Structure 1
Amino acid sequence: MRVSVDPDRCVSAGQCVMLAPEVFDQDEDGIVTLLQSEPPAELHAVVRQTASLCPVRLIRITE
């Protein structure tokens, strides 16, 4: 799995950070930052869930 984000579209909802803090963080303005572009297999399910819950769908997953 490869993960990418579009921080220009971020609305600072923070769902990604709450669900997968090992993969996502927020900068001082609340904008998403990606910590792991290739998360380990044990995080794949939560990353998929996070992508589906993002209100602006800025998280992209490539299998």
Structure 2
Amino acid sequence: MAHRIRLDECIACGACEDVCPAGCIKEQEDGKRYVVEEVCVDCTLCVQACPVDCIDKV
């Protein structure tokens, strides 16, 4: 399993990227983050860290 960030709701705070042990969350040019799903280890730390609850399990 992996996670996906709903970009329309992301506030580009970086909280998810800061806690990701796998380094699978990357920054886009607009500052919003996305998940490299093939690298995600499904730890859910990003979900817990997101202040706007915009990360879903896929």
The answer for unaligned runs of 5 or more in structure 2 is none
- Counterparts of 1:10-49 in structure 2, within 5 Å, are 10-20=10-20, 22-36=23-37, 39=40, 43-45=41-43, 48-49=44-45
Once the two structures are TM-superposed, the CA of residue 59 in structure 1 deviates from its matched residue by 0.7
Once the two structures are TM-superposed, the CA of residue 26 in structure 1 deviates from its matched residue by 1.2
Structure 1 length-normalised TM: 0.70
Identical-residue share of aligned pairs (%): 21
Two-structure CA RMSD over aligned residues (Å): 1.9
Matched residue count: 57
- Paired with 2:46 and 2:32, the residues of 1 have a C-alpha distance of 15
**Runs of 4+ displaced beyond 4 Å:** none
Once the two structures are TM-superposed, the CA of residue 5 in structure 1 deviates from its matched residue by 1.5
> If each structure's helix is expressed as a fraction of its own residues, which one has the higher value?
1
The answer for unaligned runs of 5 or more in structure 1 is none
